[in-house]
Amino acid sequence: MLVFKFGGASVKDAAGVANLANVVKQYTGKQLLIVVSAMGKTTNALEKLTKAYMEQDEEMYVIFDEIKAYHYNIMSELFEPGHPVFDEVANTFVEVDWAIEDEPHDSYDFVYDQIVSIGELVSTRIVAAYLNKEGIKSKWLDVRGYIHTDNTYREGIVDWDKTKVGISKEIPTLLEKTIVVTQGFLGGTSENFTTTLGREGSDYTASIFAACLGAESVTTWKDVPGILNADPKHFADTIKFDELSYTEAIEMTYYGASVIHPKTIKPLQNAKIPLLVKPFTDPSAPGTVIKEDGQNSFTKPVIIVKQNQVLLSVSAKDYSFITENHLSDVFRLFAQNHVKVNVMQTSALSFSVCFDLNEERFEKLLSGLKQDFKVKYNHRLTLITTRHYADDTIAELTHGKTVLLEQVSRNTAQVVVK
C-alpha cells in the first residue's frame, strides 16, 4: 500500500482539489491512504485568529469570516448547492464559533491546537467528498482517534505503542475496501483534546501511518520539482537532487529545510520505507527519492535560510566561567519552555544560542534566565546554514550583512546575520 501526502499549496483552490483527484486516479488498484494539510494559507489565518481571540481583539470575527468564505468559495466550484459537504464543513466551523464566544481561560498553546486544527478537518472533508463525487470511493477518517500523543500542545509527542496498535488493527481492513483520507499535523490526547505535531507536521503524519502499516513508500506532493539545494524563492539557479540518503535528509531537515518536517525521516528509516518528493503539477516527473542507499551528489552547496531568529547570550552575574552546571540550568529552562536551539556557542564567560522567535515562549524563557544570569539578546535576525560549502560560499552569503555569530565544521557552516 501507498501513503500520499498533499500539502496546503496542492489544495489551495478548486483546481488543486481536482488535480489531486486526477493524481489519485493514476493509482487505481493500489491501496492508498491520503494525508491532507489545511488549504493554502489557512493555518496562517487560523494562527492570526488564535492570537486575536487570546487578545480579545474584535478583528477575530472578521478573520474567521474570511476563513469560512475562502472554503465556501472553493466548495461552490466543486459541488452543486445542497451537497452534504456544505453541512459537514459548517458543523466543523461551529466548533470554533463556540470556542471564541467565551473569554479565553486556557493556555495559549492549548487554545492554538483546538482552533488551528480546524484547517485540516475542513480540508479533508472537502477532499474526501470530491473524490467520492468523482467516483473514487473514499472514507474520511478522524486522525485524532489513531495518532495518540501526550498533552504537549503544539509539539505533541506520539505514543508509538498505542498509535501502532490502533492503526494496524483497523486501517488495513478499511484499505481493502476504500481509499482513506485523513488529516496531517494532528493528534489526540487521552482526554480527547486535539494536539498538533509541530508546524508543517503533515509529512510526519504520513510517515507515522507508513511505518505502522508497512507501506511500500510515502509520496509527498509539493509545488517544487523535488528537493532542491536552496529555496528557489530566494536563490537563482537551484538544482534538484535525484536521490538523497536518509542521513543527508535528516541533516537538512534538522537545520531547517522546510520541504520536509524534521521528524519525518526517522520512522521511515527504521522501517526502510523510501520517501518520494514529487511535483503535484507533473505526477509523472521523477522528483527526489530518499532511501537508505540514496546517492548524495553535491555539485552546489545546500543552503538553508531561517528568518525571525533570536540570538541570546547569558553570562554569570559574578563574572565566573560558564561551566557545565550553568549550561545544565540554561538547557533546563529551554526544555521547560519548548524552545528549540538552532545553533549554540560557548566562550569562557558567556553562552550564546540562536533559536526561532515564539514571543510567548521567549518571554517565559527570558524571565526564567534573568533570575540567575545576565542576559543580552538581538532579534529579527537571520540564520544561514550551508552544507558541503566551498571556500567562497560563506563570503557570498554574508556579503553586505553584519555577522553576529559564525560556526564552521567540516561539512556545515552556520552564520547568524542582520
pLDDT, position 259: 77
Looking only at the bridges linking them, the beta strands covering 341-346 and 288-291 are unpaired
Neighbours of 65 (CB within 10 A): 10
Q: What is the count of structural domains for the chain?
A: 2
In-domain check, residue 349: yes
* 374 has pLDDT over 90: yes
Domain coverage including residue 339: 302-417
Residues 279 and 311 in one domain: no
Residues 400 and 344 in one domain: yes
Residues 84 and 121 in one domain: yes
Residues 212 and 287 in one domain: yes
Residues 280 and 356 in one domain: no
Residues 264 and 312 in one domain: no
122-168 pLDDT, tens digit per residue, is 999 999 999 999 999 999 999 999 999 999 999 999 999 999 999 99
In-domain check, residue 297: no
In-domain check, residue 403: yes
Last residue of a domain, one of 268, 291, 314: 291
Residues 34 and 114 in one domain: yes
With CA atoms as reference, report the closest residue to 42 among 18, 71, 62: 71
In-domain check, residue 144: yes
Binding site residue list:
5-8, 43, 120
Binding site residue list for substrate:
43, 120
Residues 312 and 266 in one domain: no
pLDDT, position 405: 96
Specify the pTM.
Answer: 0.90
In-domain check, residue 189: yes
pLDDT, position 295: 81
For range 49-73, the mean pLDDT: 97
Query: 55 or 390, which is more confident?
Result: 55
Residues 196 and 312 in one domain: no
Binding site residue list for ATP:
5-8
Is-contact 306 234, C-beta < 8 A? no
Last residue of a domain, one of 259, 291, 323: 291
- The CATH number covering residue 66 comes to 3.40.1160.10
Residues 349 and 258 in one domain: no
In-domain check, residue 332: yes
Last residue of a domain, one of 235, 266, 291: 291
72-120 pLDDT, tens digit per residue, is 999 999 999 999 999 999 999 999 999 999 999 999 999 999 999 999 9
For range 53-72, the mean pLDDT: 97
With CA atoms as reference, report the closest residue to 37 among 152, 197, 234, 166: 197
Residues 354 and 237 in one domain: no
> For a pLDDT cut of 70, what percent of the chain falls above it?
100
pLDDT mean across residues, the chain: 95
pLDDT, position 200: 78
* 258 has pLDDT over 80: no
335-368 pLDDT, tens digit per residue, is 999 999 999 999 999 999 999 999 989 999 999 9
In-domain check, residue 296: no
- The CATH number covering residue 408 comes to 3.30.2130.10
Band (pLDDT 50/70/90 cuts) for residue 199 is: confident
CA distances from 48 to 11, 64, 74, 143, 193 (A): 20, 9, 21, 24, 21
Residues 14 and 137 in one domain: yes
300-309 pLDDT, tens digit per residue, is 999 999 999 9
In-domain check, residue 357: yes
* 174 has pLDDT over 90: yes
3-16 pLDDT, tens digit per residue, is 999 999 999 999 99
